[in-house]
Amino acid sequence: TPRVFSGIQPSGGLTLGNYLGAIKRFVTMQDEVAQSIYCMVDLHAITVWQDPKDLLHNTRELAAGFIASGISPEKSILINQSQVPEHAQLGWIFNCVARMGWMQRMTQFKDKAGKNAQNVSLGLFGYPALMAADILVYHATHVPVGEDQKQHLELTRDIAAKFNHDYGVDFFPMTEPVIEGAATRVMSLRDGCKKMSKSDPSDASRINMTDDADVISKKIRKAKTDPDGLPSDIDGLEGRPEARNLVNIFAALSERSVEDVLSEVGGQQFGTFKPLLADLAVAKLSPISGEMARLMDDPAEIDRILARGASQAREITAPILKKTYEIVGMVGPA
């Protein structure tokens, strides 16, 4: 039976990229499959330095963002990674399955390490092995993610296959990525060739889910564009990454196809289009940010939801870890 898992790092506040590329799909998938697990991956977040106060705040705010966006703790299991210890335990086993050469090819590691590869944490290098464990400790079959995570999901399959092969078992499933829609890769508002990211040092590069209407409008007004107007078909977006990005965002927010949007706005100047986009973004995001703020007034309630999620999750993860230990030849959890 299909089982969905996905996670987001509390490494900052949620962005429009996280919402369109991941969370929106999480919400629809919780009604399509019997079981869905959505996770605040705090163990991943600390692969780069996080101020402890910020980490705690961002973890609760991310939970609030999930719930405010429509993920129901009654339909889905909502968890914080560090509260379900089997993730890290299986992660260690996978550190011993994954190969250095595989990890060295990961573009996210290369991007995040930059020129400083000797001085990043060992955790940042091992990130994809822990991510494989997050998924496989549930035997998840489907993982909705943005386009940037495709390579990590291929590695997850490589780890599952190598484990199954090395131990002569058919234990871990081959997980399918689910990468769909007009906004699987939302780009920075300052650079159409760079992904929008919550950890980008420039706040102007992204729309945060908690930005108010004025801030959203200002960021969109200042978003980088080229001097031409909008084309009336997709071919006209060729070689115009910034224009393409704004049109994709419009299409994803309004749940229309890019073709359909262009047939309406083709010919407009950005001076006309940007206010339309800003109004649409505010209309879609402000109910969510309002609800997030309301939920954040009661952090104890968020903690209760996460505690309940952790105990539901462990009913799945504990037997899978136990079986893994048996396969590997370990005495097993005490």
By annotation, the residues acting in catalysis are 112, 195, 198
Buried b (16+ CB within 10 A) or exposed e, 23-36: bbbbbebbeebebb
Query: Which residue lies nearer to ligand ATP by CB, 183 or 237?
Result: 183
DSSP state of 120: S
d(CA 80, CA 314): 12
Shortest distance in whole angstroms from residue 105 CB to ligand ATP: 18
Indicate the SS3 state at residue 320. helix
Binding residue for ligand ATP, selected from 70, 123, 148, 194, defined by CB under 6 A = 148
d(CA 17, CA 199): 12
Only one of the segments 9-17, 156-164, 228-236, 288-296 lies at the binding site for ligand ATP (rule: CB under 6 A); that segment is 9-17
Binding residue for ligand ATP, selected from 4, 5, 11, 277, defined by CB under 6 A = 11
C-beta separation of 61 from 68 below 8 A: no
The verdict on whether residue 309 carries a ligand-binding annotation is no
Single out the residue of 93, 91, 94 nearest to residue 82, CA to CA.
91
Only one of the segments 11-19, 217-225, 272-280, 313-321 lies at the binding site for ligand ATP (rule: CB under 6 A); that segment is 11-19
- Residue 113 main-chain phi, psi, to 5 deg: -75, -30
Buried b (16+ CB within 10 A) or exposed e, 131-140: bbbbbbbbbb
Shortest distance in whole angstroms from residue 207 CB to ligand ATP: 11
Only one of the segments 6-14, 261-269, 302-310, 326-334 lies at the binding site for ligand ATP (rule: CB under 6 A); that segment is 6-14
Query: Which residue lies nearer to ligand ATP by CB, 19 or 172?
Result: 19
Residue 317 engages ligand ATP in binding (rule: CB under 6 A) = no
Tell me which residues touch ligand ATP (CB under 6 A): 8-9, 11-12, 15, 17-18, 21-22, 145-146, 148-149, 183-186, 195-199
- Which residues are annotated as part of the binding site? 9-11, 17-18, 134, 146-148, 186, 195-199
